[in-house]
């Protein structure tokens, strides 16, 4: 099978290596607005060759759109305009509501499958692509009842080949859940980085003390604004809901510290410890 990947960054590039290495794809064509990314991707052997969007679509069985989510809503309808009834198109975006809306009335809608392989790092670009990024993680398929069964089956076999665990959500639920388990973590890290960097202006030596706990909490603050602003923009309402809850939890801690109510604070930390049952 020939696969085109539109957008050869962390996610597109990592899928490219993975699907070539495991034999799911015999040939991978890369498409990217930035010719540097194509050069890097060929040199790193992520893709076999670079082509224009039109050439790539014409030669592919499957087209994977892996651009930032704001481009996806523009690119997906253009790609669907050009495919035939046997080709399949997927996105791998971190948001779903607006992406699904962008194609909902398209005559080729049923050849499209909305997916979100839940994996990533704080790095971006083809230089950050890694082969085992997705292995044994979860991938979400959204609103598959609006896709042709053969297209869904192909995409399930693609993700099973990695292998990833597949779960199904409707687009709206996906966007609520990812606000909680991914988007708020990024907001929190960005804010924590700014908090600490503001202090650094006075005290250069502070970072000699930065411990592994600090690095772990702030790691995501290295993530690219070009990836994350479109996500926050598209999922604004859900992100605002979770952010309000998070600020209110922090304000509760603040008020307990002011009142020196360490007994209640102790109980809340014990409750927070229950996160153990979720993350290993």
Sheet holding 88-91, edge to edge: 49-50, 27-31, 2-6, 62-65, 88-91, 112-117, 138-142, 165-169
Please say which residue, 23 or 225, places its beta carbon nearer to a second copy: 225
Among 114, 35, 102, residue whose Cα is nearest residue 71: 102
Query: Alpha-carbon distance 111 to 78, whole Å?
Result: 13
In the range 200-219, which residues lie near a second copy by CB under 8 A? 200, 203, 205-219
Q: Closest approach of Cβ 260 to a second copy, in Å? A: 7
Q: Closest approach of Cβ 277 to a second copy, in Å? A: 9
Q: Closest approach of Cβ 221 to a second copy, in Å? A: 5
In the range 218-257, which residues lie near a second copy by CB under 8 A? 218-225, 228-229, 232-233, 236, 239-240, 242-247, 249-251, 253-254, 257
Q: Contact region for a second copy (CB under 8 A) — 16-24, 27-35, 79-87, 165-173? A: 165-173
Angle at CA of residue 87, ends 86 and 91, nearest 5°: 145
Q: How far is CA 139 from the centre of its chain?
A: 10
Query: Alpha-carbon distance 222 to 244, whole Å?
Result: 23
Q: How far is CA 80 from CA 4, 53, 91, 111, in A?
A: 13, 12, 12, 8
In the range 173-202, which residues lie near a second copy by CB under 8 A? 173, 176-178, 180-182, 184-200
Q: How far is CA 191 from CA 9, 97, 226, 228, 247, in A?
A: 25, 26, 17, 14, 11
Question: Could you tell me how many residues of this chain bind a second copy (CB under 8 A)?
Answer: 92
Query: Alpha-carbon distance 275 to 280, whole Å?
Result: 9
H helices of 24-148, in order, are 35-43, 53-58, 69-82, 97-103
Q: Residue 122, SS3?
A: coil
Query: Alpha-carbon distance 5 to 154, whole Å?
Result: 16
Q: Closest approach of Cβ 24 to a second copy, in Å? A: 23
Exactly one of 25, 47, 140, 142 binds a second copy (CB under 8 A); that residue is: 140
In the range 5-44, which residues lie near a second copy by CB under 8 A? none
Please say which residue, 85 or 198, places its beta carbon nearer to a second copy: 198
Exactly one of 86, 145, 201, 271 binds a second copy (CB under 8 A); that residue is: 271
Q: How far is CA 66 from the centre of its chain?
A: 9
Q: Contact region for a second copy (CB under 8 A) — 25-33, 47-55, 75-83, 263-271? A: 263-271
Site string for a second copy, 51-70 (x = CB under 8 A): --------------------
Q: Is 71 in the site for a second copy (CB under 8 A)?
A: no
Exactly one of 44, 71, 82, 265 binds a second copy (CB under 8 A); that residue is: 265
């Amino acid at each position: 099978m020939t696969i085109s990947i539109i957008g050869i960054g962390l996610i597109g590039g990592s899928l490219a290596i993975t699907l070539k290495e495991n034999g799911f794809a015999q040939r991978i064509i890369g498409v990217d607005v930035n010719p540097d990314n194509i050069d890097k991707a060929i040199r790193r052997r992520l893709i076999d060759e670079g082509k224009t969007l039109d050439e790539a679509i014409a030669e592919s069985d499957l087209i994977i759109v892996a651009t930032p989510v704001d481009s996806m809503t523009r690119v997906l309808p253009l790609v669907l305009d050009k495919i035939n009834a046997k080709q399949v198109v997927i996105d791998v975006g971190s948001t779903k509501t607006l992406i699904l809306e962008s194609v909902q009335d398209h005559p080729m809608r049923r050849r499209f499958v909305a997916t979100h392989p839940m994996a990533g790092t704080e790095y971006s670009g083809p230089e950050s692509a890694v082969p085992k990024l997705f292995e044994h993680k979860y991938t979400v398929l959204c609103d598959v009842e609006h896709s042709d069964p053969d297209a869904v089956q192909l995409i399930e076999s693609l993700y099973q080949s990695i292998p990833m665990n597949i779960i199904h959500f409707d687009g709206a639920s996906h966007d609520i859940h990812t606000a909680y388990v991914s988007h708020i973590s990024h907001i929190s890290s960005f804010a924590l980085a700014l908090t600490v960097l503001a202090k650094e202006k006075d005290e250069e030596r502070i970072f000699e003390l930065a411990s592994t706990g600090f690095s772990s909490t702030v790691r995501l603050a290295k993530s690219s604004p070009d990836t994350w602003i479109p996500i926050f923009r598209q999922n604004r309402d859900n992100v605002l809901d979770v952010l309000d809850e998070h600020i209110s939890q922090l304000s509760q801690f603040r008020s307990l510290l002011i009142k020196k109510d360490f007994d209640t604070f102790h109980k809340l930390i014990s409750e927070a410890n229950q996160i153990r049952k979720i993350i290993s």
